[in-house]
A and B are shown apart, each in its own frame.
Chain A
């Protein structure tokens, strides 16, 4: 049976507050069924909070977020990769298999799929190593494999390369692009302009908790519309 699509995601005037402080919002945007959206902005702009809001890890304080299916169903069909990969105190293979196991997949099948994914991300030799002892790059690739193993409709990535060296960053970007080309909707936060230029198909520029600009990537980088975005693209410090 073909599952109904969960996208587009329609966000209307959504905001997140902590007490009286507004962390982000009001935000209005639409995520199309396909694409690779990069959320950009300076540190503290609200990129991570927006990602967490879209993923359902932050409660909406105001406004609405509307998937094309029920929220519990939408939650099942999306994944998240954190800036600092969270490694369970298990072997690498068990980390990757975990999302399948909690959703009722047979243990043998889950491990087989985990082996396949470890192979895809180049970690098949580390399958039996304890995940937390892997290097930073390996951990992030493992986290990506764990996020992709359930074949999500949409994948959120929160600055996944922030702590990685050049080679690990390149490897991770290739994996993200492969997932995108495989049909997974990608939404990724970064403040690395070079990375955004390499990956983005469209850009959301966030500043002080609000979407300042939403544009196709070539247009955004060649002709940013707001003063803050222009400064950011130039590489100036944007506070």
Chain B
């Protein structure tokens, strides 16, 4: 209990003193996760929508696979990305290992199935609702997808936020591909792991509280900007 209180005290101190290291790793966390979420959304949202609208062979199998990939073990993803980006790997020539870019790549791989799967579920329901109307007004396939993406934007925002939630708390993959290098690839989660390993439980807890606060703050900002729960029911 004392450690929790001490963690809260330290968290408050770090935040209000604008601790330079804390700012750095917090910004790195946000940079990596927000970039990964943006990329995963760019891929996953249209993909989920496309799968909801299109009928193709093995569709059920593809959807089931996508749903299964939501549970991709981050450590395994990290390991595969590590092998791909290491000097002897196929992409070693780019020198991306132990950089924020490698962490973003790993997170995009983890987040895309999650975003696509949630988007697919949301858009499938909307498609069932809109199907007859969109067929009746003679829309093209691209127009249907654009309409569903626009009218389902709040549900899709939830998909992206779920991706953010998973990404900001992720540690296994980015630890492997980022290496937790101070002033280079250290983020909040890897810092927590490091401090826990060193026995600095209060500091680890403090970082954990800040991580939770950051996640809540980003969600609130996005909800506020998108006017969710403000302009009518949607």
Which one, B135, B143, B147, B231, contacts A57 given CB within 8 A?
B135
Q: Are B137 and A98 in contact (CB under 8 A)?
A: yes
- Distance in angstroms from B155 CB to nearest chain A CB is 10
- Residues 121-138 of B contacting A (Cβ, < 8 Å): 126, 129-130, 132-133, 135-138
Which residues of B are found within 8 Å of A132, using beta-carbon distances?
A: 233
Q: Are A133 and B232 in contact (CB under 8 A)?
A: yes
- Distance in angstroms from B30 CB to nearest chain A CB is 31
Q: Are B137 and A102 in contact (CB under 8 A)?
A: yes
* Interface status of A221 (Cβ within 8 A of chain B): no
Q: Which residue of A lies closest to B153 (CB)?
A: A89
* Interface status of A76 (Cβ within 8 A of chain B): yes
Which one, B132, B143, B152, B234, contacts A86 given CB within 8 A?
B132
- Distance in angstroms from A32 CB to nearest chain B CB is 23
Which one, A99, A130, A133, contacts B137 given CB within 8 A?
A99
Q: Mark B155-179 against chain A: 1 for CB-CB distance below 8 A, else 0.
A: 0000000000000000000000000
Q: Are B151 and A90 in contact (CB under 8 A)?
A: yes
* Interface status of A88 (Cβ within 8 A of chain B): yes
* Interface status of B196 (Cβ within 8 A of chain A): no
Bound-complex Cα distance A75 to B138 (A):
7
Q: Mark A129-144 against chain B: 1 for CB-CB distance below 8 A, else 0.
A: 1101100000000000
Q: Mark A80-109 against chain B: 1 for CB-CB distance below 8 A, else 0.
A: 101000101110000000110011000000
Bound-complex Cα distance A132 to B234 (A):
10
Counting residue pairs across A and B whose Cβ atoms lie within 8 Å, the total is: 45
Interface residues on A, range: 10 to 19
* Interface status of B139 (Cβ within 8 A of chain A): yes
Bound-complex Cα distance A133 to B209 (A):
41
* Interface status of A184 (Cβ within 8 A of chain B): no
Which one, B133, B136, B234, contacts A130 given CB within 8 A?
B234
Q: Are A88 and B151 in contact (CB under 8 A)?
A: yes
Q: Are B132 and A82 in contact (CB under 8 A)?
A: yes
- Distance in angstroms from B195 CB to nearest chain A CB is 46
Bound-complex Cα distance A102 to B234 (A):
22
Bound-complex Cα distance A80 to B133 (A):
8
Bound-complex Cα distance A206 to B32 (A):
64
Q: Which residue of A lies closest to B131 (CB)?
A: A86
Which residues of A are found within 8 Å of B136, using beta-carbon distances?
A: 55, 57, 79-80, 82
Q: Are B138 and A86 in contact (CB under 8 A)?
A: no
Which residues of A are found within 8 Å of B130, using beta-carbon distances?
A: 86, 88
Which one, B126, B132, B143, B233, contacts A102 given CB within 8 A?
B143
Contact of A86 with B129 at beta-carbon distance under 8 Å, contacts A57-B135, A80-B136 already known = yes
Write 20 A-B pairs (CB below 8 A) sorted by A numbering.
A55-B136, A57-B135, A75-B138, A79-B136, A80-B132, A82-B132, A82-B133, A82-B136, A86-B129, A88-B133, A88-B151, A89-B126, A98-B137, A98-B147, A99-B137, A102-B139, A102-B147, A129-B232, A130-B233, A132-B233
Closest 10 CB pairs of A and B: A130-B232, A86-B133, A80-B136, A89-B151, A99-B137, A89-B234, A75-B138, A102-B139, A102-B143, A76-B138
Given A80-B136, A132-B233, 13 more A-B residue pairs with CB atoms under 8 Å apart are: A57-B132, A57-B135, A75-B138, A79-B137, A82-B133, A86-B130, A88-B130, A88-B147, A89-B126, A89-B233, A102-B137, A130-B231, A130-B232
